[in-house]
């Protein structure tokens, strides 16, 4: 499985086209988003429809910290004081974003994740919408609908791509290691039979929250990289369509397998570019494919490939 990732690195560095770099850049970021969703939903069985919230938090951490503390001019907000300029450092900003995301995950998760039912799904969904509104309400501080731009975005598409590739490789690797560890076992046990898991001595709330926090952390990282590359962030970054895309990628690629999400992400991103039809048509097609896959192919693409390989 790691070979898949490594192989991609090789194949892809031969391309020199900026356009392709952009496509793959998003494929990488969304792979992180999809894989993060998968560890929460595919492994621990907790459905979240609003993981994009953490993506946005990661993005705005970069945007706002840079706007306020970098000491340099950014579009709508003043450069702020450069006294705390270390805060604008990308690495620090990323960590802040991750920290906030994980904290939020635990807080919200504590309310919604203890109960069985659609609560987490709906609460996370609502949170995305709420955050969008809050950004507009406090537009004076957040840049509102227009967003915030950061002065030191990545130089070019190629650089962005490499950063995203490294981030993706690191994230996916980490996620695979977690799912292969005792925690992965706990997640699966909770998902398969929470009652029996409890009777075995597993604290379901603790590990569900753990899965959620991990999911939030990596999603936040992806969001941060997105903004670092594009240089601008606005409230669209909280759109629930992104959440759905990750769910689609994970489900179509293979839920319950981290690698499946990566495959799903690349598959869908590339397909979208190839087809190049209008936005809405492609959205509809993917919605239909999504429904069909859930209904008939619970194992996704990866499961299908595995089955085919088994026949040979």
Partner 1 sequence: MDVVQNIVSALVYGVLAGGRFSLIALGLSLIFGVANLIDYTYVAYIAVAGYLFYTVDPLAGPLLGMLIVVLSVIPMALFVERFLIRPLKSSGNQVMMVTFGVSLFTQYAISLIWGSLTLAVPTFLPGAVSILGNITSMQSFAILPASVAISLATIFFIDYTRRGKSIVAVSQDTEASWLVGVNVSSTMALTIVIGAMLAAAASVISAPTIGETPAMGWSPFIIAFVVVVFGGLGSIKSSVVASYIYGIILNFGIVFIGSQWSDVIGFVILIAILLVRPEGVLGRRASR
Partner 2 sequence: MSTNDVLTISGLTKRFGGVTAVNDLSFVLTKGEMVGIVGPNGAGKTTIFNLITGFLRKDSGSIFFDGKEISNESPYKISLSGISRTFQQVRSFQGLTVLETASLPIVIRHKPVDRARLLELLGSVGLSGKENVMTSALTYVEAKSLEIVKSIVIDPKLLLLDEPFGGLNVHEIEIMTSVIRRQRDEGRTCIIIEHRLAELFALVRRLIVVDFGQKIADGDPQEVVKRENVIEAYIGKEAKKE
Which residues bind to partner 2, rule: CB under 8 A?
182, 185-186, 188-189, 191-193, 195-204, 256
**Interface stretch with partner 1, choices 20-28, 57-65, 69-77, 107-115 (CB under 8 A):** 107-115
Please select the residue that binds partner 1; options are 91, 115, 155, 274, rule is CB under 8 A: 115
Size of the site for partner 1 (CB under 8 A): 40
| Residue 238 within binding range of partner 1, rule CB under 8 A | no
| Residue 110 within binding range of partner 1, rule CB under 8 A | yes
| Residue 291 within binding range of partner 1, rule CB under 8 A | yes
Nearer to partner 1, 28 or 124 (CB): 124
CB of 240 to partner 1, least distance (A): 8
| Residue 76 within binding range of partner 1, rule CB under 8 A | no
**Interface stretch with partner 1, choices 64-72, 148-156, 215-223, 288-296 (CB under 8 A):** 288-296
Nearer to partner 1, 24 or 123 (CB): 123
HEC states along the chain? Answer: CHHHHHHHHHHHCCCCCHHHHHHHHHHHHHHHHHHHHHHHHHHCCCCCCCCHHHHHHHHHHHHHHHHHHCCCCCCCCCCCCCCCHHHHCHHHHHHHHHHHHHHHHHHHHHHHCCCCCCHHHHHHHHHHHHHHHHHHHCHHHHCCCCCEECCCCCCCHHHHHHHHHHHHHHHHHHHHHHHHCHHHHHHHHHHHCHHHHHHHCCCHHHHHHHHHHHHHHHHHHHHHHHHHHHCEECHHHHCHHHHHHHHHHHHHHCCCCHHHHHHHHHHHHHHHHHHCCCHHHHHHHHHHHHHHHHHHCCCHHHHHHHHHHHHC
CB of 43 to partner 2, least distance (A): 9
| Residue 134 within binding range of partner 1, rule CB under 8 A | yes
Nearer to partner 1, 2 or 111 (CB): 111
Using CB under 8 A, list all residues that contact partner 1.
41, 45, 47, 49, 108, 110-112, 114-119, 121-123, 125-127, 129-130, 133-134, 136-137, 244, 247, 251, 280-281, 283-284, 287-288, 290-291, 294-295, 298
């Amino acid at each position: 499985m790691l070979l898949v990732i490594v192989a991609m690195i090789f194949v892809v560095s031969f391309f020199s086209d900026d356009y392709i770099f952009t496509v793959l850049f998003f494929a990488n970021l969304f792979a992180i988003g999809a894989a993060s969703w998968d560890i929460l939903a595919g492994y621990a069985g907790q459905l979240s429809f609003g993981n994009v919230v953490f993506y946005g938090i990661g993005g705005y951490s970069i945007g706002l910290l840079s706007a306020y503390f970098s000491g340099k001019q950014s579009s709508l907000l003043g450069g702020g004081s450069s006294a705390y300029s270390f805060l604008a450092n990308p690495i620090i900003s990323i960590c802040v974003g991750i920290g906030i995301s994980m904290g939020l995950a635990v807080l919200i998760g504590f309310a919604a994740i203890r109960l069985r039912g659609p609560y987490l799904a709906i609460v996370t969904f609502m949170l995305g919408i709420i955050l969008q509104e809050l950004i507009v309400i406090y537009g004076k501080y957040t840049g509102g609908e227009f967003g915030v731009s950061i002065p030191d975005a990545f130089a070019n598409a190629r650089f962005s791509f490499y950063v995203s590739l490294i981030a993706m490789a690191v994230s996916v690797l980490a996620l695979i290691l977690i799912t292969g560890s005792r925690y992965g076992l706990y997640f699966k046990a909770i998902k398969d039979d929470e009652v029996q898991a409890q009777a075995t001595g597993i604290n379901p709330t603790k590990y569900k929250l753990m899965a959620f926090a991990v999911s939030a952390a990596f999603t936040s990282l992806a969001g941060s990289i997105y903004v670092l590359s594009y240089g601008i962030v606005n409230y669209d970054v909280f759109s629930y369509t992104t959440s759905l895309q990750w769910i689609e990628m994970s489900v179509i690629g293979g839920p319950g397998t981290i690698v499946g999400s990566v495959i799903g992400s690349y598959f869908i991103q590339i397909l979208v570019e190839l087809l190049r039809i209008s936005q809405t048509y492609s959205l509809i097609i993917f919605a239909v494919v999504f429904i069909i896959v859930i209904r008939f192919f619970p194992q996704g693409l990866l499961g299908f490939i595995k089955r085919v390989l088994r026949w040979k």
